[in-house]
Amino acid sequence: MQALDPLDDDPAATVFRDVILLALLGFVALVILLLPHINPPEKNTSDLMTPGNVIVEIKWPESIDADVDLWVRAPGDGAVGWSQRGGAIFDLLRDDLGYLNDLTAANHEMAYSRGVPHGEYVVNVHMYRNDTEIWPVPVYVIVSVKLDIDKPARQVLLGKVDLVRVDQEETVYRFNLNEAGGLLPHTVNNLYTSLFDSQRL
């Protein structure tokens, strides 16, 4: 029997091994080059733009365990609030109940619209509950308009109302937007109209 000599190989076998190893090396290099593109880095969530076109927010102090409700009405639509969370145009995205079922300290409610129809918008706040009995409860109202999905929202109104009793409803803003989504400043007022009473069951 003849012993195997590793240096006494067939030239065809050497070429075959070289081609296989080069192909394997090329495949590994290709995987290494494509790996960053297969799994792109995650986007920073703070860079993401908010959805919606007309954005209405209310905020009140974290130290007050109160349930203040946001009510909004868009042109040609019904009132949207805690008992009617969505309409044809607006949706209530966050209904804050104060400390009840809330893991965050922030007291914050918001409603977003789909589109910016021209006409009159109404923004009301309603004091549903105040367990701390701290009065008055200052509520800050922010209205923003976002026309371009790639640009941040533009704040058009900022106001404050003091709620002094349970079941108090206040009209903070009534305003008109034109066809281009611009605020018509001469239309801004707070002439009272109830949105909450129209939704009582």
C-alpha 187: how far from chain center: 28
Is the pLDDT at 43 greater than 50? The verdict is: yes
- Alpha-carbon distance of 15 to 28, in angstroms, equals 20
Q: Which fold does the domain 50-199 belong to in CATH?
A: Lipoxygenase-1 (2.60.60)
Return the H-helix or E-strand segment holding 18: helix 11-38
- Alpha-carbon distance of 43 to 106, in angstroms, equals 25
pLDDT tens by residue, 151-191? 899 999 999 999 999 999 999 999 999 999 999 999 999 99
Question: Mean pLDDT over residues 76-82, rounded?
Answer: 95
Residue closest to 170 by CA, chosen among 146, 139, 198, 147: 139
- What is the pTM assigned to this prediction? 0.73
Out of 48-62, 116-130, 159-173, pick the least confident. Answer: 48-62
Residue 12, classed as helix, strand or coil, is: helix
- Alpha-carbon distance of 59 to 72, in angstroms, equals 15
Asked whether the CA dihedral 147, 152, 158, 163 is positive or negative, the reply is: positive
Listed by start position, the domains of the chain span 8-39, 50-199
Contacts 24+ apart (CB under 8 A), 186-192: 187/120, 188/157
